[in-house]
Amino acid sequence: MASWYERLYAKVAPEIGIDLGTANTPVFVRGHGIRFVEPTVVAVNADTGDIITVGEGAKQMLGRTPRNIQVIRPMRNGVVSNFAYTEALVRQLMERAMRGRPLFPPRVMVGVPGSATEVERKAVREALMGAGAGRVYFIAQAVAAAVGAQLPILEPGASMIVDIGGGTTEIAVLSLGGLVTGRSLKLGGDRLDEAIVTYLRSNRGFLIGERTAEALKISHGYYGRPLGRPPATVLGQDLRRLRPGTVQVREEDIGAAIAEPVGQIVDAVRAVIEQTPPELVRDIGERGLVLAGGGAAIAGFAATLSVVLSIPTRIAESPLLCVAMGAGAILGDQRLFDALYPAPESMIGRWWRFLRSGMRESSSYSSR
């Protein structure tokens, strides 16, 4: 149980849930829900080091900046790759979330990949504390996504979540509030974008940018069977003629480009299920597994995964927001918070437990 001071602080302090993702950062504020979702991008003046803008404004500059402006993604594979710019990004996002200086510093819970090291967590903690957080709690992205998808993780039955983010894919089987088995892959939506760029360059002799590849992934990506969508006309650089041009991109092109990385995710899900105890596998077979994250929206992925694994598969109601919503829900639910963050016993509690055990031994001896 948390101390009385922590419980009082939890009642009066603002609460913020952050999914500090590689591609996007949704921010949840207690009493307001998801306040905004911003791209995890920072635009910097290369000459002075000053930050020009963050979020959507910086993303609009991708591939369109002069030499003295750099557009940087400070998060890679779900962890901090540039501390200074991450802190600047987080500071501006928290200012937007709170809309002013609160009376009490906020409690902040941030989702991190299961593979994040202590050094990486420390970098995130320092960035958030520097941005004004009063308490910083870390939660595995898979656990937060499961809570955000309204899975009963405290029950003895198994809940399975597959969270496909921009930089990582988190796969987990949860029961009684703990991780039974899981896996964290440094593979996500960014890898799919890179695969599309590589495919068109190698097979069509055509070079496109990161934003164009992301748009093609959303509009024409699929796994399993194509949906019959018409080809898309894409602008870019014709590498054979060394000039700007256009190319017709079919669904089959995008499906072939992303087939290998998506197949790796499917293989990882299968491996996690194979490592799960039989009784919990039966629960998963009955309840099914849930997809979260931006990658869950790939057309046909849920249906194909259900056929391949013979397990019912569904997409969470708001897949992109599950981690932030789950982090906020954990902060707001004292029972769930206590189950996931058991507080160490206080000195008075240890002394009272020692005293009671001595009284029981004395009573047992006298009864003889």
Quick check: 124 pLDDT over 90? Answer: no
Mean pLDDT over the full length of the chain: 87
Q: How far apart are CA 111 and CA 141, in angstroms?
A: 5
Q: Which CATH superfamily is domain 4-39+80-148+322-340 in?
A: ATPase, nucleotide binding domain (3.30.420.40)
DSSP class of residue 296 equals G
pLDDT grade, residue 367 (50/70/90)?
Answer: very low
| Residue 92, token pair as written in the block | 């501006």
Q: How far is CA 178 from CA 18, 125, 143, 158, 271, in A?
A: 21, 23, 9, 10, 19
pLDDT grade, residue 131 (50/70/90)?
Answer: confident
Identity of residue 233: T
What is the structure's pLDDT at 365?
Answer: 46
Q: Same CATH topology for 4-39+80-148+322-340 and 189-257?
A: no
pLDDT grade, residue 256 (50/70/90)?
Answer: very high
**Domain extents for the chain?**
4-39+80-148+322-340, 159-187+263-316, 189-257
* Contact by Cβ (8 Å): 10, 107: yes
Identify the residue whose tokens are 């019912």.
Answer: 312
Helix axes 251-274, 210-220, angle to 10 degrees: 80
> Which contiguous run of DSSP H or E holds residue 15?
strand 15-18
Q: What is the pLDDT of residues 143-161, one digit of tens each?
A: 999 999 999 999 999 999 9
Q: Can you tell me whether residue 118 is helix, strand or coil?
A: helix
Which pTM does this prediction carry? 0.86
Domain 189-257: CATH class, spelled out: alpha beta
* Contact by Cβ (8 Å): 221, 298: yes
Q: How far is CA 165 from the centre of its chain?
A: 6
Q: What is the pLDDT of residues 222-240, one digit of tens each?
A: 999 999 999 999 999 999 8
Q: What is the pLDDT of residues 295-330, one digit of tens each?
A: 999 999 999 999 999 999 999 999 999 999 999 999
DSSP class of residue 230 equals P
Identify the residue whose tokens are 């629960």.
Answer: 283
- Per-residue pLDDT, averaged over 116-129, amounts to 81
Question: 251 or 125, which is more confident?
Answer: 251
Q: Lowest-pLDDT range, 107-121, 198-212, 249-263, 276-290?
A: 107-121
Quick check: 96 pLDDT over 70? Answer: yes
Q: Which CATH superfamily is domain 159-187+263-316 in?
A: ATPase, nucleotide binding domain (3.30.420.40)
* Contact by Cβ (8 Å): 16, 27: yes
What is the structure's pLDDT at 363?
Answer: 47
